[in-house]
Chain A
């Protein structure tokens, strides 16, 4: 979330699309309700009428996988009706930037496309620079090659008629949503989006979110209270795990994982440190080396020296152009490329797309370690449906671990708040906290390397590995390491910091090895003042629910990021009722003469861009400080599949033609091509669109909740929701058992025949859609059914490799 949970209460209009907040983020509805009590409108857009829709002022449906068409129509509506915040867009986004002559778009493809590699040469999407090497701008937005004019042209194709034909949403409903949401383009008004996996899990997942981010920029909704782009994270600590590099392509704090071509620390830092020629751009990532070196010092401590590149050579590298995502790993496992696997706090036999492929992949392993609270379908795969235990060589070890309330540590919620939690009870039996298991494991591995040696012992033996107190894992020691220490006496701005003390904030991190920080973004979370995440201050000085002394939030306790865009160029809030920050410096003769911001921690404390008398300042910075040119990306030249979003059909879809262009599916997706990666698009055997979802009553694959009788009582068996029209067609009655089948697998479920699903009119034909939860599995309960991920395809978004589990094709028949 760019904003945070409480801030939803400040909104004037809330769009819930690509998520089902009431069912999957129940507590969020407290703040949605608060906003509604203050007059906000709640819009729900979902293929199925959900418990969220039940609370909405307005609901409409769209066919799964057509969100870009739906939102592209909104961009077109906003621009055609001049509903955007022009000052915001012209000065805070790259809408004013002039594009190079090589940029173009034709029939669904952007310029620079290479058919053979299924990828783009992004140099075709470069801006046109002036003599200083700064992109040329036209703040009037009239130049035909400026981003705004290109954007206007691109989305003019998304007219109501075409969008309605693609999405199946009636034109009147589209207009109603567009009009209601776009009203926030008025200065002082804010609208927000609550999205989740309904947007991300598509072959166009990243572009779904980009489209919405662009709408928020058009309407001036980024950085303001009650606005932002808000990802509702699927687990309480997913934000934290991402921040601390759960994913393969990043180091902690969103630093890059080194590529094999980054042959030295210098080459690595040079490659990933963005440059700018604009003196008004803060280009915050210009500090890259301070964060990467401090991270290496955290990894290897005293063993990391300037001479050995601070141990850079000991860090794993990835091959250029190769991906190591979840889907790639399971594909490699399936093909027998590796033989050992830790399934730690996860259940890929049910949670992973194309679950049959994952279950089959487990049989290729020599060993698997399953760390979990309960037995699950992953650890027990060898005795699962269709498996012959006698023929499976995989040795499975089960390590019971502590539940969240049985250990101490931090969790970072969707709103980026890192909150310290205390241990409430001892874990039962042999169960241990994850940290304890890791320490025991690594101690043993290090001992083996010390005694027996190995192919490459340096990374293991040179590791700084001192996170125990009296032999036990100590989460405070880890939290302090994440924050970072001064490793030598350092004097900054006249103040001396002693070696061994905690670094007060990332502004003090150094690239010379005199500081450490396990994650620069969390530098300030545990300082000499104490554990900031454990703070429990309940005072809200802001008046807009920032509660700045409750826990701690990255970065530097800034509760709403990009907040310098919440003010006009003179530093005064667009929304006087809900100011996030406000410039309160002294004014003399129409000029600011002293620096003072009030409110939230500002995104950089520089002077505003303009004096009260309208003269421009030279000691200011553009507000979007993480971008090399300081402007938000209306045009996003970094994405794999294009600088503007474009509608493509899902990998599996019910219509034979993309109504938007001759390019049927996302031209940059890459299929795996194993025997398990079958697909069937526009195939009469699988004529029904399907999607998957979670339910309130079960948690993820249900490993924790299916063992809880009270929860199981409320949601005992897998179900398949379908319209009365489809049920009639298939001779199915409410409560009947049905078989749902895709090109990859089949599941049994109870038919839930409902008015909450309706057939769609897509390009003149009637298209049906069904939906199933993925929280069930064969281990328990015995009559509960199995995961709907047995049906889903293992195809990923080209940017993130998140699988397309939210739109695929099935058939349904009475079992």
Chain B
């Protein structure tokens, strides 16, 4: 039964970026050359070697300053459009781990052409996948399935000092998330809400309009399953979930 989920409580996130660095450490991802571009957010965006990125967004609404932190990552959709799209090009390029529900990009993503990749990326409602221009591999958060499979927490969750990052059985995470929303509403946070909780495994809690945090904080309507993909979906053979996980 695939029933793992993250609960990311942005009200507890202090943007220490322990998660961002721990992700690089566990996944042996290199640092990229960055420059200060007038923001604390660095690297500026996700990349082939940055699976987890804390996004910083500051707003001044009527003299009241807000600084929102959004630890962005793959949402591990229950029904991942990227998987459907990729399968249309290369079978087994994207798989879903049965025991956790993790959406995993395999070594076969190398076989995706750059236009194939663009379609995969565009099909992602959260703008997550990134391609290595050198090898052609497509990459993103793995849910640390290698840790999780060995009874450990994902590296980002393990590193979080404040309890913003949580991971566990989906039911427990949803329970925790709903309780927190109720508590925040009681405290006067009228906009406290979970983002796309029914369709993804990485459930963010925010207390303001989601778009203020990040353009892709919630699924974008202009992406997702295209007509082309919908057609392909209609005619593809039924494969079901793949249990094994190919090594990246």
Contact = CB atoms under 8 A, between A and B. Distances in A.
B211 interface: no
Interface in A358-399: none
Contacts of A23: 14, 16
B9 to A, nearest CB: 9
Interface in A1-60: 22-23, 26-27, 29-30, 33, 37, 49, 51-55, 59
Contacts of B31: 709-710, 712-713
B123 to A, nearest CB: 29
A715 interface: yes
B65 A26 contact: no
A55 B9 CA distance: 12
Given A49-B67, A54-B69, A713-B42, A735 B17 contact: no
Contact of A55 (B14, B35, B39): B14
A751 interface: yes
A539 B146 CA distance: 33
A715 B38 contact: no
Contacts of A474: none
Nearest to A716: B34
Given A51-B15, A54-B66, A696-B17, A750 B34 contact: no
A719 B42 CA distance: 13
B221 interface: no
Interface string B208-228: 000000000000000000000
B30 interface: yes
A654 to B, nearest CB: 23
B115 interface: no
B51 to A, nearest CB: 13
Interface string B138-155: 000000000000000000
B161 A27 contact: yes
A54 B183 CA distance: 19
A783 B34 CA distance: 11
Contacts of B183: 37
B199 interface: no
* B37, B59, B183: residue with the most chain A Cβ atoms closer than 10 Å: B37
Nearest to A724: B60
A33 B163 contact: yes
Contacts of B40: 715, 752
B25 interface: yes
Contacts of A22: 14-16
A751 B21 contact: no
A46 B67 CA distance: 15
Interface of A is mostly: mixed
Given A26-B14, A710-B24, A715-B42, A755 B60 contact: yes
A229 to B, nearest CB: 23
Contact size range, A: 35 or more
A26 B38 contact: no
A710 B36 contact: no
A719 B41 CA distance: 13
A755 B66 CA distance: 9
Contacts of A753: 38
Contacts of B65: 49, 53, 59, 755-756
Interface string B18-36: 1011001100001111111
B12 interface: yes
A718 B36 CA distance: 8
A628 B45 CA distance: 60
Contacts of A711: 21
A677 interface: no
B88 interface: no
B222 to A, nearest CB: 28
Given A26-B18, A713-B42, A735 B161 contact: no
Given A33-B163, A713-B42, A735 B37 contact: yes
Contacts of B35: 716-717, 750, 783
Contacts of B68: 54
Contact of A30 (B20, B58, B163): B163
A696 B16 contact: yes
Interface string A319-341: 00000000000000000000000
Interface residues of B, number: 36
Interface of B is mostly: loop
A734 interface: yes
Interface in B59-92: 59-60, 65-69
Contact of A29 (B43, B59, B161): B161
Given A696-B16, A755-B58, A714 B67 contact: no
B113 interface: no
Given A29-B161, A714-B20, A751 B38 contact: yes
A51 B41 CA distance: 13
A276 interface: no
Contacts of B20: 714
Interface in A738-763: 750-756
B3 to A, nearest CB: 26
Contacts of A751: 38
A752 B14 contact: no
Contact of B30 (A26, A55, A696, A709): A709
B114 interface: no
A44 to B, nearest CB: 11
A713 B43 contact: yes
Contacts of B14: 22-23, 26, 29, 51-52, 54-55
B162 interface: yes
Nearest to A50: B67
A47 B163 CA distance: 28
A408 interface: no
A735 B25 contact: no
A713 B183 CA distance: 37
A717 B65 CA distance: 25
* A49, A52, A714: residue with the most chain B Cβ atoms closer than 10 Å: A714
* A52, A750, A753: residue with the most chain B Cβ atoms closer than 10 Å: A750
Contacts of B17: 696-697, 714
Nearest to A37: B183
Contacts of A783: 35
Given A26-B16, A710-B24, A734 B36 contact: no
Nearest to A784: B36
Contacts of B60: 755
Contact of A735 (B32, B36, B59): B36
B162 A29 contact: yes
Interface in B100-140: none
A716 B36 contact: yes
B53 to A, nearest CB: 10
Given A26-B14, A710-B24, A752 B36 contact: yes
A420 to B, nearest CB: 22
A33 B12 contact: yes
A37 B16 CA distance: 20
B33 to A, nearest CB: 8
* B11, B20, B37, B40: residue with the most chain A Cβ atoms closer than 10 Å: B40
Contacts of A51: 14-16, 67, 69
Contacts of A30: 161-163
Nearest to A21: B14
B204 to A, nearest CB: 16
15 contacts: A22-B14, A22-B15, A26-B14, A26-B16, A33-B162, A37-B183, A54-B67, A710-B31, A713-B42, A714-B17, A716-B34, A735-B37, A751-B38, A755-B59, A756-B65
Closest 10 CB pairs of A and B: A709-B31, A734-B38, A735-B38, A713-B31, A755-B60, A54-B67, A22-B14, A750-B36, A717-B36, A26-B16
Interface of B: 11-12, 14-18, 20-21, 24-25, 30-40, 42-43, 58-60, 65-69, 161-163, 183
Interface of A: 22-23, 26-27, 29-30, 33, 37, 49, 51-55, 59, 696-697, 709-719, 734-735, 750-756, 783
Given A54-B14, A712-B31, 11 more contacts: A23-B16, A29-B14, A37-B183, A49-B67, A54-B69, A696-B15, A710-B24, A713-B31, A715-B42, A755-B58, A756-B67
